[in-house]
Homo-oligomer: A and B are copies of this chain.
């Protein structure tokens, strides 16, 4: 049986949601971050070889990296319909969004968050500087890439309810984390299809049960 080591406010909420979508038996271990440093506690670090979240254990296997975990779990449930097979008509759409989530959207979201954190944390006399640098990075690098991806998402979601068609796949599971972050900070306001998608996944029973097990209103820490 798979054990999900679930660290609060981390990317591991997505694995929890997937496990609930699958409706399979699994063990759940919850870990809270240190209230002051927001770092993972020692017992989490002991099980997570790289100190990252999420991590699952399954017999002798310890596996990190969200996408790898999703693929690994789906390997054990080949009939789950959450991963279109090679040759399926929606395979290319699926592969694009499944991989673009971690490969393109998350790095941009991470960089954007890093600049927002720096703006908050630097001493006050550095704030004008960091704001200038941050504005430059946003204008020259972050925003063009983010907008291109969101425009594509908005257009794809105009013709289908989920990223790879009419039902939830691992592409939706992966996309949920960066998209919820964007939703919370108002970045999807002009994108009705993206907004509807976020609200659609949040309304699912499996998502609600995962949220309940997570024990907080949202898995996204506001930045």
A216 to chain B, nearest CB (A): 24
CA of A75 to CA of B75 in the docked complex: distance in angstroms?
16
* Contact partner, A148, options B51, B96, B99, B133, Cβ 8 Å: B51
Given known A-B contacts A49-B152, A107-B107, A114 and B137 have beta carbons under 8 A apart: yes
Among A99, A110, A136, A152: residue with most chain B CB under 10 A: A99
Within 8 A of B (CB), among A47-101: 49-52, 61, 63-68, 71-72, 75-76, 78, 86-87, 91-92, 95-96, 98-100
The count of chain A contact residues (Cβ–Cβ below 8 Å) is 48
**A92 lies within 8 A of B61 (CB):** yes
- Taking CB atoms, residues of chain B closer than 8 Å to A72 are 91-92, 95
- What 9 A-B pairs have minimum CB-CB distances, sorted nearest first? A75-B86, A107-B107, A68-B95, A102-B103, A67-B99, A68-B99, A50-B148, A65-B99, A65-B100
